[in-house]
A = this chain, B = another copy of it.
């Protein structure tokens, strides 16, 4: 009957340690132990396996965990909704962002925090799948990700901008003086790209497959910064979204070539879980995304 015990439970599941979980909950370790014991007594199942130390959750505990997380999230949503009645939105926006969209985070963050001065923002770089998982598991309030590719179900969306691919090579190489490039030539270059499992890479592979091209990168990474560093160091070119150009206008070492046959632009925007009722944080994120105007370099 008490959410407090469920908070103990979820915290313990996250921390994997009684004393640390107790500290995170602001109580002493015996209190947390008693709370877990009370939960187990109440539901008639051993929830936490332990023998002189924390082992893990029992199957029953694993079955219970998502319910407990949802209960806590709904309670927090209610508390936020009540706080938001008389005054600005308080609390922390938890925003999950795919790496390709990270350059747009600044404008979204500025608008979000300007519109809601009493709130704070926590940005986490995640894959699109992790964002979806975090949203349904109540670990995130909103996501910044692709809207059209593998769209998650049961989401409300607000488009922010659209990205196109560009070809990026080191200045002083074969591409000086060029004004555009074809897909086949790009695919034949020595490329460094994202890992095949990442969504942006999957989209790129799809784009190439539509043209009958396959790609064999010489190097892969999970970070655009790594790709930029490899291109800068020389020996590689890459294909990446143009959104990073808005972030890095002064890359004199770079040759940036658009494709002469541009692929369809990919819309990127904010998504929030479509729940009833919708929480004030999600509603605010959506409203801000619909109102914010991104500068040139981000085009819709």
Binding site for B on A (CB under 8 A): 1-4, 43-45, 60, 63-64, 66-68, 70-71, 74-75, 77-79, 81-82, 85-86, 136-137, 153-154, 274, 276-277
27 A-B pairs in the complex with CB atoms less than 8 angstroms apart: A1-B2, A1-B3, A1-B4, A2-B2, A3-B3, A43-B79, A45-B82, A45-B85, A45-B86, A63-B81, A63-B82, A63-B85, A64-B78, A64-B82, A66-B276, A66-B277, A67-B77, A67-B78, A68-B78, A70-B74, A70-B276, A71-B74, A71-B75, A71-B78, A137-B276, A154-B154, A154-B274
Give the contacting residue for A276; candidates B2, B71, B85, B136; CB below 8 A.
Answer: B136
Q: In the complex the two chains form, what is the Cα distance from A277 to B136 in whole Å?
A: 9
Give the contacting residue for A85; candidates B60, B137, B154; CB below 8 A.
Answer: B60
Give chain B residues whose Cβ lies under 8 Å from the Cβ of A4.
Answer: 1
The 9 A-B pairs with the shortest beta carbon distances in the complex, nearest first, are A67-B78, A43-B82, A66-B277, A136-B276, A71-B74, A70-B74, A154-B154, A1-B3, A60-B85
Q: Is the contact region of chain A dominated by helix, strand, or loop, or is it mixed?
A: helix
Supplied contacts A2-B3, A45-B82, A67-B74, 13 more A-B pairs, CB within 8 Å: A1-B2, A1-B3, A43-B82, A60-B85, A63-B81, A63-B82, A63-B85, A64-B78, A64-B81, A67-B81, A70-B277, A71-B75, A154-B154
Query: Closest chain B residue to A80 by CB distance?
Result: B67
Q: How many of these chains are in the complex?
A: 2
Give chain B residues whose Cβ lies under 8 Å from the Cβ of A71.
Answer: 71, 74-75, 78
Give chain B residues whose Cβ lies under 8 Å from the Cβ of A70.
Answer: 74, 276-277
Q: In the complex the two chains form, what is the Cα distance from A171 to B79 in whole Å?
A: 64
Q: In the complex the two chains form, what is the Cα distance from A1 to B72 in whole Å?
A: 10
Q: In the complex the two chains form, what is the Cα distance from A182 to B39 in whole Å?
A: 65
Give chain B residues whose Cβ lies under 8 Å from the Cβ of A64.
Answer: 78, 81-82
CB distance from A300 to the nearest CB of B (A): 27
Q: In the complex the two chains form, what is the Cα distance from A74 to B6 in whole Å?
A: 13
Most chain B CB atoms below 10 A, which of A1, A43, A67, A136: A67
Query: Closest chain B residue to A280 by CB distance?
Result: B63
Give chain B residues whose Cβ lies under 8 Å from the Cβ of A3.
Answer: 1-3
Most chain B CB atoms below 10 A, which of A45, A70, A77, A153: A70
Asked whether A67 and B277 contact (CB < 8 A) given A1-B2, A1-B3, the answer is yes
Query: Closest chain B residue to A154 by CB distance?
Result: B154
Give chain B residues whose Cβ lies under 8 Å from the Cβ of A154.
Answer: 153-154, 274
Give chain B residues whose Cβ lies under 8 Å from the Cβ of A86.
Answer: 44-45
Give chain B residues whose Cβ lies under 8 Å from the Cβ of A45.
Answer: 82, 85-86
Give chain B residues whose Cβ lies under 8 Å from the Cβ of A2.
Answer: 1-3
Query: Closest chain B residue to A84 by CB distance?
Result: B63
